């Protein structure tokens, strides 16, 4: 479980690092922001699913 959380944290940090690029075109910036939000939501969903699975395993 710790490795899973570490991987998610690493991916989020990488995304934040690349999102620091200076973009002159506002359309490209908006598309990049939407893409990052979508990836963030997917990662959150996977994280929540993993937490639910761990909770079920703990209850067993």
C-alpha closest to that of 40 among 2, 7, 11:
11
Q: What is the pLDDT of residue 12?
A: 79
Whether this prediction's pTM lies above 0.75 is answered by: no
Extended beta strands in 1-60, E state? none
Summarised one tens digit per residue, pLDDT across range 4-51 is 788 888 787 777 666 555 556 777 888 899 999 999 999 999 999 999
Q: Supply 58's token pair.
A: 């703990």
Summarised one tens digit per residue, pLDDT across range 37-49 is 999 999 999 999 9
């Amino acid at each position: 479980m710790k490795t899973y959380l570490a991987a998610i944290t690493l991916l989020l940090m990488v995304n934040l690092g690349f999102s620091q690029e200076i973009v002159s075109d506002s359309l490209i910036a908006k598309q990049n922001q939407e893409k990052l939000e979508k990836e963030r939501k997917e990662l959150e969903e996977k994280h929540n699913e993993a937490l639910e699975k761990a909770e079920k395993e703990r209850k067993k």
